[in-house]
């Protein structure tokens, strides 16, 4: 057991979605703050002098001034087997899947390959300040085993699941309704609730699951109502047409998943760009989350996510943000929000930096129904943290000389920052980036 630690630095933690750039009530900020951590948890959060006074004897002081300390960043959608797919040249989603992704994912039948990529994957998460992520593994149970074994070793709170796909893909990359059911149950039995792992029921999308497999997915969802479900929805117009050809009885793409009882407050719907008003209502009514993946949407030319429309409509849609590696082009949640900002600019909307940093932390934690554990610096939260350095590069340092407010600093971090701006990452109270 490591001794208690006091992290000293500028602390920032959100308590709700900021309504504007001047919404100072939406967060707590301590200019000279202290965070007392022990046993993997946050014990106290406040002004450094106060925390020091009440700290147990022998507590180690780690001085991160002048850097910012925030809850660890959260990535709600990416693909563990696609690290070597990032940056593949393709015209659109379906060409990209068939030409590169469905080839690369076949390699994860080999447990040794999965174990090797898992080490790189978790190193990269830590390098980027991402302390929780929600990943698709490949169709092979071995890929989920590799993913969760490495997550357990590092004591990271990770979500993920073996992909279910039984049609419209190479035969070596498909399961069957029965094997999908059996393997998912085995992954749940082996990993769910062990260490900090959460298993996610993961049908890839409507195009690669037969009606029979959708039935089985619905059965799993009923059998394990506490588990998250993740899939893809309305990313690309050709994909939407194909989905409705395969499921002609459905009113629209969203209705395909609704018909199999897959929509609920723990359902994560990757992309969800091109939704009708009816579909937006269904997301609102079921509580299902639209997961915005900006770098992927721009890279594959999928479309411009209507962030503000979803957020401000009478029946709002819950939103999370994510990298979508390897359709996405950066592992960095800072870069992700930089691109999210630009997408809203193209739509004539603004995404203010407070809202961006809320989204990467508490917003994503709320979208995962895990805000009681992660996403804030509140006492009793898990001590998963990121330390951000807005002077990480000469160009950033020069710009910082002209910065005078917290919001300006956050916007600089989002616009110019990447893994170099991550000064340290803490997982369950332990510094892990500096040791990489
Ligand atoms: Zn995806």
Each domain of the chain, given as residue ranges in start order, spans 5-72+376-435, 73-331
Distance 271 CA to ligand 1 centre (A): 8
- Can you read off the two tokens belonging to residue 181? 């059911």
Distance 324 CA to ligand 1 centre (A): 5
Distance 82 CA to ligand 1 centre (A): 10
Distance 236 CA to ligand 1 centre (A): 12
CA angle at 292 for the pair 330 and 140, rounded to the nearest 5°: 70
Q: pLDDT, tens digit, for every residue of 74-114?
A: 999 999 999 999 999 988 989 999 999 999 999 999 999 99
Q: Residue 177, Cβ neighbours under 10 Å: how many? A: 19
Predicted pLDDT at 3? 82
Q: Is the dihedral of CA 272, 278, 280, 284 positive or negative?
A: negative
CA 304 to chain CA mean position, Å = 19
Predicted pLDDT at 15? 97
Distance 296 CA to ligand 1 centre (A): 8
Distance 392 CA to ligand 1 centre (A): 30
Predicted pLDDT at 124? 98
* 5-72+376-435 topology per CATH: Urease, subunit C; domain 1 (2.30.40)
Q: Note whether 361 and 333 are within 8 A (CB).
A: no
- Which positions ≥6 away from 362 have C-beta within 8 Å? 13, 14, 15, 16, 71, 371, 375, 376
- Can you read off the two tokens belonging to residue 321? 């943000």
Predicted pLDDT at 91? 87
Neighbours of ion ligand 1 (CB under 5 A): 270, 324
Distance 313 CA to ligand 1 centre (A): 26
Rounded-to-integer distance, Cα 365 and Cα 211, Å: 32
End-to-end Cα distance, the chain: 21
Rounded-to-integer distance, Cα 287 and Cα 296, Å: 24
Distance 290 CA to ligand 1 centre (A): 12
Closest-CA residue to 130 (of 188, 84, 72, 54):
72
Q: What pTM does this model have?
A: 0.98
Q: For the chain, which ranges sit under pLDDT 70?
A: 1
Q: What is the DSSP letter of 98?
A: I
Report DSSP letters for 167-219, one per residue. SSS-GGG---HHHHHHHHHHHHHHHTTSTT-EEEEEE--GGG--HHHHHHHHH
Q: pLDDT, tens digit, for every residue of 239-291?
A: 999 999 999 999 999 999 999 999 999 999 999 999 999 999 999 999 999 99
Predicted pLDDT at 436? 87
Distances (CA, A) of 213 to 163, 204, 209, 328, 354: 12, 11, 6, 27, 42
Give domain 73-331's CATH architecture.
Alpha-Beta Barrel (3.20)
Distance 323 CA to ligand 1 centre (A): 9
Q: Do domains 5-72+376-435 and 73-331 have the same CATH topology?
A: no
Predicted pLDDT at 1? 63
243-275 per-residue burial string, b: 16 or more CB within 10 A, e: under 16: bbebbeebebbbbbbbbbbbbeebbbbbbbbbb
CA angle at 292 for the pair 129 and 378, rounded to the nearest 5°: 45
């Amino acid at each position: 057991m490591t001794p208690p630690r006091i992290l000293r630095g500028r602390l920032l933690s959100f308590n709700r979605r900021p309504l504007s750039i001047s919404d100072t009530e939406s967060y707590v900020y301590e200019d000279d703050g202290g965070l007392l951590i022990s046993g993997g948890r946050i014990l106290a959060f406040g002004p450094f002098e106060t925390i020091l006074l009440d700290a147990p004897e022998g507590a180690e002081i780690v001085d991160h001034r002048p850097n910012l300390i925030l809850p660890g960043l959260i990535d709600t959608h990416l693909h563990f087997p696609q690290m070597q797919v990032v940056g593949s040249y393709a015209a659109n989603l379906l060409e990209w899947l068939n030409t590169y992704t469905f080839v690369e994912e076949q390699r994860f039948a080999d447990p040794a390959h999965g174990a090797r990529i898992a080490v790189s994957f978790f190193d990269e998460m830590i390098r980027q300040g991402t302390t929780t992520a929600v990943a698709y593994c490949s169709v092979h149970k071995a890929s989920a085993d590799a993913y969760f074994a490495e997550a357990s070793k590092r004591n990271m709170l990770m979500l993920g699941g073996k992909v279910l796909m039984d049609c419209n893909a190479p035969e070596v990359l498909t399961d069957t309704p029965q094997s999908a059911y059996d393997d998912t149950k085995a992954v749940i039995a082996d990993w769910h609730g062990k260490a900090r792992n959460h298993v996610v029921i993961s049908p890839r999308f409507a195009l690669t699951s037969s009606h029979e497999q959708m039935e089985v997915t619905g059965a799993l969802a009923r059998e394990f109502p506490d588990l998250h479900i993740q899939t893809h929805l309305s990313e690309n117009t050709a994909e939407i047409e194909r989905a409705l050809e395969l499921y002609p009885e459905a009113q629209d793409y969203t209705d395909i998943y609704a018909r199999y009882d897959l929509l609920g407050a723990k359902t994560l719907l990757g992309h969800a760009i091109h939704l009708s008003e009816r579909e937006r209502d269904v997301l609102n009514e079921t509580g299902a989350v639209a997961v915005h993946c900006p770098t992927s949407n721009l890279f594959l030319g999928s479309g411009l996510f209507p962030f503000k429309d979803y957020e401000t409509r009478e029946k709002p849609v819950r939103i999370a943000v994510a990298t979508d590696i390897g359709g996405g082009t950066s592992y960095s949640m800072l870069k992700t929000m930089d691109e999210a900002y630009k997408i809203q600019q193209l739509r004539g909307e603004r995404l203010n930096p407070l809202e961006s940093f809320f989204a990467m932390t508490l917003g994503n934690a709320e979208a995962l129904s895990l805000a009681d554990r992660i996403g804030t610096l509140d006492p009793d939260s898990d001590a998963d943290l990121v330390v951000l350095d807005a002077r990480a590069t000469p160009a950033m340092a020069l710009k910082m000389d002209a910065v005078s407010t917290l919001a300006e600093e956050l916007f600089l971090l989002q616009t110019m920052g990447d893994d170099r701006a991550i000064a340290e990452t803490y997982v369950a109270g332990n510094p892990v980036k500096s040791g990489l």
